[in-house]
Structure 1
Amino acid sequence: MQAWVSGRMLDLGTPKQRTLLALLVSQADRAVTTDVILEALWEGNPPPSAMTSLQAYVAKLRKVLEPGRAPRTPATVLRTCARGYVLDTGAVDVDVHRFVAHAEAGRRARDREDPRQALREFDAGLALWRGQPFAEVSGVPWVVPEVARLEEVRLSVVEMRCAALLALGAHESAVAELRAFVKAHPLREYGCELLSLAMYRAGRQADALDVLRTVQASLSEELGVDPTLRLQRMRQRILNQDPVLDWQPAPAPAAQPAAAVAGGVLPSHASAPSLPPDDTTGDVSVGREAAVRQLTEALAAAEARRGRLVMVSGEPGAGKTGLLRRFAERSGVPVFRGTCDERIAPSPLSLWKQVLRAADAAFPRRPAPGPVAELLKGVAAQATVGTDAAGGDRRLFDAVARHLTGLSGTGALVVILDHVHRADPASLRMLVHLAKSVPESRLLLIASYRSDEAQSLAGTLAALSGAEATRMELRGLTPRDTRVPAGAITGGDVSRRTAEGLCARSGGSPFLLREMVGLLAGEQRPDESGAGPVPAPDREVALYRVERLPEPAAELLTVAAVAGRYFDVEVVAEAASIGIDTALAVLDRAIAAGLIDEDGQRLGWFRFTDVLVAEALYATTGRMRRGRLRLRIEAAAGRAWATGRAAAGPAPAAIAPRT
């Protein structure tokens, strides 16, 4: 921890004074109670004189931090608040905040395909690092999440910096940087992907393949998982010496037209210009004609000063982000986008800062009002933390609403908030607040979220119920829709029966369909049933959906998967040694998550609605355990049928080869 005033380094005093300052800086603009401070300074055992000592430390730090402050005037840096103290960043500059600002600026430059500017921003941010953040208090429970967040951002910036080097043709420099990075972080697959690409472009094909073999072995030995489909495709492309891997000079950055401005922090692998693009499923509008029509009608209403709020939901991989991106590209009006990165915990109002920065770029002659400008500088970012909707920073929220609706005065604007189920509470309160101003403006506000995580938005959705929001749920593609993208990936016609099989296995999910057909296309044509191995990304998604259910869910559904796609709950519960009431409670949650359906004809019978979930559970169960489970299922079924408990009819149909 170091501090300067007017270019002069300060003497921060004793270790406890330094620890106090580090704690306050780590929680900048947030009140830290004296109880937390005493716990941190004396490691849970403060002496009777601790409060007197704390007050002395505060007085000395104030004298050092504000040497020119007149006697008996209020402190502006280290302020007293209810039950504790707060460090006010309105009066100081914190390098941590500057690092995050450089990281976000670099991402924006990367997204507009300006690798030179991205590299400058990333270098400026990384130059601020001198070691572990907040080393004096890195073990304090309040500080641990912030340290982890900053470290994750730093690793992402290193990866994105190397992607920028590759985009500029600096392959050898990227190899040198990435070899050290991958050695320190061997399980970060994006870094390994970049290193293999850098080595290939540097004429080291064998070394590039060795990188992929090493990460595959590490993932298998340490985590028991396969590499992502991106790494598998990278290996195949290197073996085939695919021209798509060859370096092409980055295009000169063009000025962004107002109709195509988009802001937002994306995952580092989402749009890196130096990597070959993923295979696509063709036009994301296929099977989404009704959704596109609804969005187009909402935009037309906004043009007529009847602004709309549209809430778009769907299961993971349903194509929400792709649909909104395509709509934004074709809208013909300015689009401001904010998204929540699933790998990084959101900071307060981070979603709206992305939107407002994009608005600033699109309207340079319409400067943001004071409160909004303060938010973008980080001054007001923490002000809304811990408050409820009624007691939030109304001044800031009103200013944001006036600013965005004011910009729409001369023509329609679109604000897209993607993945709001991951948004911070302050961003959600801002969404509710702005929704009240939308109907009388030319603003089209679109928010997307995962339907299986709608519970985290229960309060927000309830608050929006009076906002006349349009609700859109993206459901699975039909077999007819499936034939178009499947044919585009395989490079030929796909029969109706094959499309039906693929649609059944993927549940109509564009993401799962793309991964499934992509894997099959690299090995063999899909057979008439659409069958084939469950791709690793699909398996991970399926198992993640099961892990989100209550504790006995994995065991119960594993037994059900061995039984078949259709199963009798009493038989499966007995075979799993789970009480029937517990089993029914688990199935209620599985039904709500869209994994299971109840048979409308036979009481007590259920079926997997998502075949890939059943197949993933079956595939990850060992052969010997599957055999033992079958014996228990058969015994339980025999007892059930003998006593007449089970409905008459054939045994459940198999969902996978019983080997």
Structure 2
Amino acid sequence: MFPDNLSFNILGPLAVWSAEGPLPLGPARQRAVLSALLLAPGQVIGTERLTEAIWPAGPPGNVVASLHSYVSHLRRQLEPDGPPRGRNRVLRRESQGYLLAVQAERVDACRFEGQLRAGRRLLRAGRYPEACRALEESLALWRGAPYAELGDYEPAVREATRLEELRLMTWEALWEAELAWGRDNGTVVAELAALSARYPTRERLGWLLMVALCEVGRQAEAVRVYHRIRRALAQELGVDPGRELRALFGRILRDEFVGRVCVLH
């Protein structure tokens, strides 16, 4: 049975926690082994894929011995009370490679996605305070860039990009819930303005910022935000704003704005 006191964290620098605190995970390549296994927890990762992830410029001549050494050291940290000759429960050698036998709820990225799904369900149901709490809890799991230990290894880059996109979706859902709940719109404006400046072509962020500005009586600034997004989309992507953003802009110009956020579908 898997030890129930281990927590694996990849939403930032790799970390593994036990009931006693963080585990020492060793040098960079040893940490890269564990990061590569966490790309597919509970699945066998072949030695060829592990080698590619750990030595992107080409493996050393003693690659098998080096990989075995890293795995052995990790096993001693992850399962210090394991029997010397017994089958390891956490990091196991299989016929086709290695397997990290970890349940999804023990990996912070999996918990993040679960909390995001729960928060969006609550948002769609109109349960805004609960949605805010779920989404805030999911964002609190982030400590930095995911899978940094694997550098430019393509599968890790793809997964990190996917997680960063989900993080942005979480922010958008959180501020949507905050606006619908009608809490401190001044704080929402400040946070959305900072995010929108970082992602100038992300229309949903711009839409939410324009709504928040109108909620606090700053329609002129909302109009400026629209034109800034329109210019960014034209310059970077060669497209016009989408229908939803154009419709909101028209309502503002016609002074028809009614501060009601349309929840995600």
Q: Answer yes or no: same fold by TM over 0.5.
A: yes
C-alpha distance after superposition, 1:227-286 (max 9, x if no partner): 11111111111112215x2359xxxxxxxxxxxxxxxxxxx9634xxxxxxxxxxxxxxx
Separation of aligned partners in 1, 2:18 and 2:154: 30
Secondary structure of 2:230's aligned partner: helix
Separation of aligned partners in 2, 1:200 and 1:7: 50
AA at the equivalent of 1:21: L
Offset of residue 182 of structure 1: 0.4
Q: Which runs of 5+ in 1 are unaligned?
A: 249-267, 272-659
Offset of residue 125 of structure 1: 0.5
Percent of counterpart pairs with the same letter?
37
Note if contact 2:39-2:156 (Cα within 8 Å) is conserved in structure 1.
yes
Separation of aligned partners in 2, 1:18 and 1:72: 24
Separation of aligned partners in 2, 1:233 and 1:136: 44
Offset of residue 91 of structure 1: 9.0
Match of 1:174 in 2: 188
Task: Say which of 199, 205, 213 aligns to 1:199.
Answer: 213
Separation of aligned partners in 2, 1:48 and 1:187: 47
Offset of residue 92 of structure 1: 7.5
Note if contact 1:186-1:218 (Cα within 8 Å) is conserved in structure 2.
yes
The reply on whether 1:36 has 2:49 as its aligned counterpart is: yes
Separation of aligned partners in 1, 2:92 and 2:249: 57
Match of 1:51 in 2: 64
Separation of aligned partners in 2, 1:246 and 1:46: 59
Separation of aligned partners in 2, 1:179 and 1:84: 47
Number of residue pairs aligned between Structure 1 and Structure 2: 251
- In our comparison, the structure showing a higher alpha carbon Rg is 1
Secondary structure of 1:4's aligned partner: strand
Match of 1:231 in 2: 245
Separation of aligned partners in 1, 2:210 and 2:231: 15
Offset of residue 128 of structure 1: 0.6
Separation of aligned partners in 1, 2:161 and 2:104: 26
RMSD over aligned Cα, in angstroms?
A: 1.7
Separation of aligned partners in 2, 1:152 and 1:91: 20
Note if contact 1:189-1:215 (Cα within 8 Å) is conserved in structure 2.
yes
The reply on whether 1:214 has 2:228 as its aligned counterpart is: yes
Task: Say which of 7, 11, 28 aligns to 2:24.
Answer: 11
Moved segments of 4+, more than 6 Å: none
Task: Say which of 181, 194, 198 aligns to 1:184.
Answer: 198
Offset of residue 43 of structure 1: 1.8
Separation of aligned partners in 2, 1:270 and 1:4: 35
Offset of residue 8 of structure 1: 1.5
Counterparts in 2 of 1:180 and 1:196: CA distance versus 1, 3 Å: same
C-alpha distance after superposition, 1:27-66 (max 9, x if no partner): 2122211111112222241122111011011111011001
Counterparts in 2 of 1:56 and 1:27: CA distance versus 1, 3 Å: same
Note if contact 2:207-2:248 (Cα within 8 Å) is conserved in structure 1.
yes
Separation of aligned partners in 2, 1:174 and 1:90: 36
Separation of aligned partners in 2, 1:246 and 1:40: 49
Separation of aligned partners in 2, 1:81 and 1:213: 57
TM-score scaled to structure 2, two decimals? Answer: 0.90
Separation of aligned partners in 2, 1:55 and 1:37: 11
Task: Say which of 176, 183, 207 aligns to 1:163.
Answer: 176
Counterparts in 2 of 1:159 and 1:102: CA distance versus 1, 3 Å: same
Counterparts in 2 of 1:247 and 1:223: CA distance versus 1, 3 Å: closer
Offset of residue 7 of structure 1: 3.4
AA at the equivalent of 2:264: A
If asked which structure has higher relative contact order (CA below 8 Å, sep 6+), I would say 2
Counterparts in 2 of 1:85 and 1:222: CA distance versus 1, 3 Å: same
Counterparts in 2 of 1:94 and 1:64: CA distance versus 1, 3 Å: same
Note if contact 2:124-2:264 (Cα within 8 Å) is conserved in structure 1.
no
Offset of residue 79 of structure 1: 1.4
Note if contact 1:77-1:91 (Cα within 8 Å) is conserved in structure 2.
no
Counterparts in 2 of 1:98 and 1:207: CA distance versus 1, 3 Å: same
The reply on whether 1:66 has 2:63 as its aligned counterpart is: no
Secondary structure of 2:119's aligned partner: helix
Separation of aligned partners in 2, 1:7 and 1:116: 34
Match of 1:143 in 2: 156
Note if contact 2:104-2:110 (Cα within 8 Å) is conserved in structure 1.
no
Counterparts in 2 of 1:38 and 1:198: CA distance versus 1, 3 Å: same
Secondary structure of 1:27's aligned partner: coil
Note if contact 1:38-1:44 (Cα within 8 Å) is conserved in structure 2.
no
Secondary structure of 1:125's aligned partner: helix
Match of 1:86 in 2: 99
Separation of aligned partners in 2, 1:203 and 1:42: 56
C-alpha distance after superposition, 1:279-327 (max 9, x if no partner): xxxxxxxxxxxxxxxxxxxxxxxxxxxxxxxxxxxxxxxxxxxxxxxxx
The reply on whether 1:113 has 2:126 as its aligned counterpart is: yes
Alignment of structure 1 residues 424-463 onto 2, 5 Å: none
Offset of residue 215 of structure 1: 0.5
